[in-house]
C-alpha cells in the first residue's frame, strides 16, 4: 500500500475511532478518513449510563480523544456527515452532499440504534431513550428534578437508568414483559438476583407486564400497562434493545444476516465482508468466532474496541482472527459486575454459583451439558474475571462441585 491510498471508515464510533487509531499505531501513513453523522467527537458509551447519568460526570468524559489528537495524527475527521450509499465495485462512498469519496479499503462501523416502542403516545415529551451523548445529557438534566420515573425494560440499560434515578432521589417503577430482570441474558436464576437488588433499593418491579400506551397530552403523565393500570410518570425511560445499522451494507449487496439469524453484517474471522476490500466492526458485525466455533454479534463496549483494532489490522493485510471473548460490565448501586463469554440462544445449561449472593460478592458460571463453561461473571469479586476467561478459552471439562467451592482455585476446577 502506498501513502496515496485511502482508508475510509464509516462511523465515528468507538469501533471506528479505534480502527483509525490502530491504523496509525501500526504504521499506516496513507490517508485515513473517519466519517460520523453525530456532531460530537468519537466517544464510548458506558459512562453515559453510569457516571454521567448519576450527575457525577459530564458527557465529555466519554470522549476518546480531543480534536487536536485527530489533527496531530492526520486523521480526516468529518463529523455531522452522513454516508448515504456505498459502491463496492467502484470503491466509493456517497456523502449527504452528493459528493463521492473513493476508497482503497473501507470499514463499516455504523453501530446500532435503539428500538422504538411503537405504542400510542410514544412521541410525547418526557419519553426518553438512552443511546447517544445528547440523550444521556437530556436524561441527566431531567433527573435533577427528582421526577417519578417509569422504566420500560429490565435489561442492562433499563436497570442502570433505574439505579441512577433511585440514587438521585426519584421514585422508580420498572415494567418488563419477561418474568424477571435480564431473563433473556442471564436466565431466571441470576436475573432474579438483580431483581432482588433493585427491590432492596426501593424500585417497584412489574414483571410479566407489557406497555399498551403512554398517557398525556402535551407531556407524558403515565404508562398504561397490559393489566389496564396506569402507572403515574413524570418521565419515562425506554430500554427495549437496539438494532444494528445494516442498511448501507444491504443496499450495496453485502451479505447481512436476517433478524431471525441474529442480524448483522456477515463476515469471517478477519471481519471482511462478502465484498472485497470492505470490512465491518462493532455492534453491526456478525462474525465467525474462531474460538467459539459459531457466528456471533456482540453489542458491548469491549467488542467495539477490540473489533475496531482487529479490522484495522486486517485492512492493512495482516493475518487476523478476531477471537476476543465477549466481555461487558455494569455498575448499579454498590454492585460492580464483569461478565465474559457467550451463551448461544436456546442452549441447555445449568448455572453454578460460587459464593453466597446474600453476601454481595459471588461468581456465577453458565455450564453446558458437557461440563464446559460457556460464560461466567463476578459480582464484587475483583480480579476473578481473568480466571473466568481462561476457563472459557480452555474448553476444559470442570467438576461442578469444585467450581462452586470458593476454596478451590479456578485453575484447578
Among 63, 17, 56, CA closest to 36: 17
CB atoms within 10 A of CB 74: 11
User: pLDDT at position 3, please?
Assistant: 65
What are the pLDDT digits (tens) for 288-339?
Answer: 999 999 999 999 999 999 999 999 999 999 999 999 999 999 999 999 999 9
Q: Mean pLDDT of all residues in the chain?
A: 96
User: pLDDT at position 2, please?
Assistant: 58
User: pLDDT at position 259, please?
Assistant: 87
User: Cβ(163)–Cβ(201) under 8 Å?
Assistant: yes
User: pLDDT at position 208, please?
Assistant: 98
d(CA 190, CA 182): 8
Residue 4 pLDDT level (bands cut at 50, 70, 90): confident
Among 374, 370, 363, CA closest to 410: 363
pLDDT value at 347 more than 80:
yes
User: Cβ(381)–Cβ(337) under 8 Å?
Assistant: no
Task: Say which DSSP state 283 is in.
Answer: G
CB atoms within 10 A of CB 22: 19
Among positive and negative, which fits the CA dihedral 359, 360, 361, 366? positive
What are the pLDDT digits (tens) for 377-408?
Answer: 999 999 999 999 999 999 999 999 999 999 99
User: Cβ(198)–Cβ(159) under 8 Å?
Assistant: yes
Name the more confident of 72 and 262: 72
User: pLDDT at position 276, please?
Assistant: 97
**Mean pLDDT within 223-232:** 97
What are the structural domains of the chain?
Answer: 6-113+242-315 (3.50.50.60), 116-238 (3.50.50.60), 334-412 (3.30.390.30)
pLDDT value at 1 more than 90:
no
User: pLDDT at position 264, please?
Assistant: 97
User: Cβ(224)–Cβ(207) under 8 Å?
Assistant: no
Q: What percent of the chain has pLDDT over 70?
A: 99
d(CA 329, CA 302): 9
Hey, what's the cell of 209?
407486564
What are the pLDDT digits (tens) for 115-124?
Answer: 999 999 999 9
Element (H, E) at 31: strand 31-35
Task: Say which DSSP state 130 is in.
Answer: -
Among 346, 220, 372, CA closest to 291: 372
Q: Which residues are registered as beta bridge partners of 368?
A: 349
DSSP structure string for 359-377: GT-EEEEEEETTSBEEEEE
User: pLDDT at position 260, please?
Assistant: 82
What pTM did the predictor assign? 0.94
d(CA 316, CA 7): 9
Amino acid at each position: 500500500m502506498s501513502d496515496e491510498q485511502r482508508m475510509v471508515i464509516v462511523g465515528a464510533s468507538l469501533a471506528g475511532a479505534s480502527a483509525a487509531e490502530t491504523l496509525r499505531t501500526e504504521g499506516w501513513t496513507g490517508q485515513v478518513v473517519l466519517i460520523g453523522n453525530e456532531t460530537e467527537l468519537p466517544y464510548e458509551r458506558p459512562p453515559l449510563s453510569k457516571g454521567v447519568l448519576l450527575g457525577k460526570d459530564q458527557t465529555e468524559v466519554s470522549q476518546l480523544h480531543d480534536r487536536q489528537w485527530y489533527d496531530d495524527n492526520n486523521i480526516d475527521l468529518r463529523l455531522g456527515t452522513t454516508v448515504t450509499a456505498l459502491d463496492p465495485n467502484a470503491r466509493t462512498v456517497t456523502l449527504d452532499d452528493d459528493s463521492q469519496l473513493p476508497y482503497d479499503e473501507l470499514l463499516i462501523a455504523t453501530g446500532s440504534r435503539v428500538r422504538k416502542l411503537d405504542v400510542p403516545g410514544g412521541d410525547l415529551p418526557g419519553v426518553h431513550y438512552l443511546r447517544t451523548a445528547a440523550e444521556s445529557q437530556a436524561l441527566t438534566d431531567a433527573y435533577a428534578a427528582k421526577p417519578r420515573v417509569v422504566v420500560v425494560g429490565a435489561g442492562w440499560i433499563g436497570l442502570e437508568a433505574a439505579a441512577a434515578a433511585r440514587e438521585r432521589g426519584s421514585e422508580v417503577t420498572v415494567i418488563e414483559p419477561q418474568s424477571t430482570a435480564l431473563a433473556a441474558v442471564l436466565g431466571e436464576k441470576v436475573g432474579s438476583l438483580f431483581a432482588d437488588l433493585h427491590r432492596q433499593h426501593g424500585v417497584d418491579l412489574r414483571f410479566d407486564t407489557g406497555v399498551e400506551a403512554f398517557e398525556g397530552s402535551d407531556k407524558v403523565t403515565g404508562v398504561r400497562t397490559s393489566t389496564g393500570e396506569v402507572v403515574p410518570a413524570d418521565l419515562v425511560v425506554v430500554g427495549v434493545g437496539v438494532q444494528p445499522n445494516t442498511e448501507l451494507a444491504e443496499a450495496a449487496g453485502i451479505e447481512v444476516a436476517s433478524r431471525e439469524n441474529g442480524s448483522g453484517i456477515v463476515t469471517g474471522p478477519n471481519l471482511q465482508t462478502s465484498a472485497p476490500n470492505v470490512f465491518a466492526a462493532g455492534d453491526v458485525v456478525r462474525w465467525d468466532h474462531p474460538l467459539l466455533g459459531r457466528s456471533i454479534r456482540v453489542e458491548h463496549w469491549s467488542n467495539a474496541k477490540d473489533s475496531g483494532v482487529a479490522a484495522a489490522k486486517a485492512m492493512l493485510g495482516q493475518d487476523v482472527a478476531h477471537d476476543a471473548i465477549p466481555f461487558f460490565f455494569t455498575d448499579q448501586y454498590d454492585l460492580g459486575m464483569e461478565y465474559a463469554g457467550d451463551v448461544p440462544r436456546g442452549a441447555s445449561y445449568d448455572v453454578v454459583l460460587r459464593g453466597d449472593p446474600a453476601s454481595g460478592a459471588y461468581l456465577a458460571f453458565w455450564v453446558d451439558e458437557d461440563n464446559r463453561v460457556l460464560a461466567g461473571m463476578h459480582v464484587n469479586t475483583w480480579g476473578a474475571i481473568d480466571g473466568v476467561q481462561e476457563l472459557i478459552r480452555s474448553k476444559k471439562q470442570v467438576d461442578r462441585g469444585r467450581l462452586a467451592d470458593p476454596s478451590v482455585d479456578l485453575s484447578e476446577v
